[in-house]
Amino acid sequence: MKLENVARELADSIGRNKVSTATEDLICYSYDVSTYIKRPDIVVKPETTEDVAAVMKIANREKIAVTPRGSATNNCGGNIPLQGGIVIDMVGMNKILEIDKENLIAVCQPGVINGHLKAEVAKLGFFYPPDPQAMDMCTIGGNIATDAGGPQAVKYGVTRSYVLGLEVVLPTGEVLRTGGKMIKDVSGYNLTQLLVGSEGTLGIVTEITVRLIPMPEARRTMLAVYDDLTDASVAVTRILDNKVVPSMLELLDKTSAVLIQNYIDSGYPTDAEALLLIEVDGSKAEVDTQIIKVRDICSSCGAREVRLANTPEEAEAIWAGRKSGFAALSAYKPVVLPEDCTVPRNKLPQMMRKVQEVAQKYDILIPTFGHAGDGNAHPHICYDPRHPEEIEIAEKAIQDIYKEAIALGGTITGEHGVGIVKKELMPLQHPELNLRLMAAIKQIFDPNNILNPGKGF
């Protein structure tokens, strides 16, 4: 069937106003945060699970590629319709369906913004911890697809740790329900957890059930300044050795501190080799003891200065810089690739040193900050696409960094996903057997390979 006929059938089946083939609309759904751009042939904007199922049934019958999309803040090309076809925009399904106070559970649609869910549950004294840096704009559906995480992963884990149940439309158009409001459930394979992090290649999430926890009573923030990157890395492991699990434990290298400080005055010293940003949370008494303990450890590891935030405003000022990290780098170069290597926590100093070596080798700036507490470093490769030689160097630097990450027993991506960008790196990390199993699973879910094809592996 011709594509225009498919578009007509889609319009007849879910409603004319939910389907577009106008060039201008196709252009607006041709990108995400990666550098890839490719126009789809049709954009659909479903409002119900039935809409999504109807779209998938038609697409599956006609063997047309479907790419799911939320706020398109993916930086690995996960939202790019590589083969054209249909982009299915889920942001219209954006209702919080239920906040169940008795079971500490929230049920929502995939288009709900992460920060919005956080704010709504906070009104009732609950906490939904997964905190990707794009939380003000990224959707819960997208978070499920990429198993998104953020600074608080060190204490609270990532999206996966909170998802209890899903409603998913399969590539065939069948509607699958997994899990539910149960905290425990060991009957059969855990399909919920298989779907979390599957990057929209196995199904399209239409409803999500997540676990909430009580909001911690208090939090304290501090900033530790180091003249030696290794000292800072040692402090990270020492803090955790001493049985303190901070709610955030972030490391910034000198290059990023300088670029951030140029962008927004966060009070970061620009002559230090490394900064540690630490937050502890819990009951008020607990927090006061812990922050002192952390401060002493930081000092004993060679911090030249330790700053304790005494008010929420002071704390906010310290975090404002870190939160502007990506923005600050974007202001430095037009293209910023946030690399995402994650290594066992104690290997982080080696990883950071390697990044510095690579930067020296190619004579470029690689500002690096990341979630030191969980071994997740984000070396940022920055370049100007109008200078082809910069792109070439960037590609070499990326290869060097990931080879080291794998050698240290790490992964090519801790929280961003594989998408298009890391596809070629997959065999570097995974043995052939693993890849074969993944392909077999994909085949069962999506026999015609129509859902987000060309992504992942």
Partner 1 sequence: MRTVSKRLEELYYKTDRCVRCGRCIVVCPTYNATMNEAMLSRGRIRLVREYVEGSLKLSERLKLYNNLCLGCGACVERCPSRIDTPELVIQMKEEMNKQEGMALTDSLLLRKVMTSPQSFRRVIRLLSLNRKIGVTKILPEVLKSKEQILPEIPEKSFRDLYYKNEKKQEQTSPRKFRVGYFVGCLTNALYPSLAFDMIKVLEQHDCEVIIPEESVCCGLPHQAYADNTQALQLASKNMQAFLDKKVDYIVTDCGSCGHGLKHYQSLDWNSEEERLRAQEFSSKMLDIHQFLVDVAGLKVGPKPIEDCSVTYHDSCHLSRNLKVKSQPREILRSIPGVEFKEMPEANWCCGAAGSYSFQHTDISQKILKRKMDNVKSSGAQYLTAGCPGCMMQLDHGKREFSLQTEVLHPIQILARTF
- Answer for which of 76, 106, 107, 134 binds partner 1 (CB under 8 A) is 134
Segment lying near partner 1 (by CB under 8 A), choices 95-103, 380-388, 414-422, 434-442: 380-388
Torsion sign across C-alpha atoms 353, 153, 136, 290: negative
| Cβ-proximal residues to 450 (8 Å cutoff; 6+ apart), any chain | 59, 60, 63, 64, 65, 66, 85, 171
User: Per-residue x/- mask for partner 1, residues 72 to 91, rule CB under 8 A?
Assistant: xx---------------x-x
Please report whether residue 29 would count as binding partner 1 according to CB under 8 A.
yes
Residue 338 CB, nearest distance to partner 1 (Å)? 10
How far out from the chain centre does Cα 230 lie? 27
Token couple for 250: 């972030």
CA atoms within 13 A on the CB side of 215: 13
Segment lying near partner 1 (by CB under 8 A), choices 252-260, 287-295, 326-334, 442-450: 326-334
Q: Which is nearer to partner 1, 30 or 198 (CB)?
A: 30
Please report whether residue 58 would count as binding partner 1 according to CB under 8 A.
no
Q: Which is nearer to partner 1, 25 or 199 (CB)?
A: 25
- Answer for which of 3, 137, 218, 306 binds partner 1 (CB under 8 A) is 137
Please report whether residue 335 would count as binding partner 1 according to CB under 8 A.
yes
| Cβ-proximal residues to 44 (8 Å cutoff; 6+ apart), any chain | 10, 14, 18, 19, 20, 51, 55, 86, 87, 88, 89
- Answer for which of 67, 94, 342, 411 binds partner 1 (CB under 8 A) is 94
Buried residues in 272-295 as b, exposed as e (16+ CB within 10 A)? bbbbbbbbbbbeeeebeebbeebb
Please report whether residue 426 would count as binding partner 1 according to CB under 8 A.
no
Please report whether residue 334 would count as binding partner 1 according to CB under 8 A.
yes
Token couple for 183: 């905290």
Token couple for 103: 């079971």
Nearest in space to 457 (alpha carbons), one of 393, 413, 394 = 413
- Answer for which of 344, 385, 409, 427 binds partner 1 (CB under 8 A) is 385
Q: Is 163 helix (H, G, I), strand (E, B) or coil?
A: strand
Q: Which residues bind partner 1 (CB under 8 A)?
A: 22-25, 27-33, 45, 71-73, 89, 91-92, 94, 111, 113, 134, 136-138, 263, 324, 326-328, 330-331, 334-336, 384-386
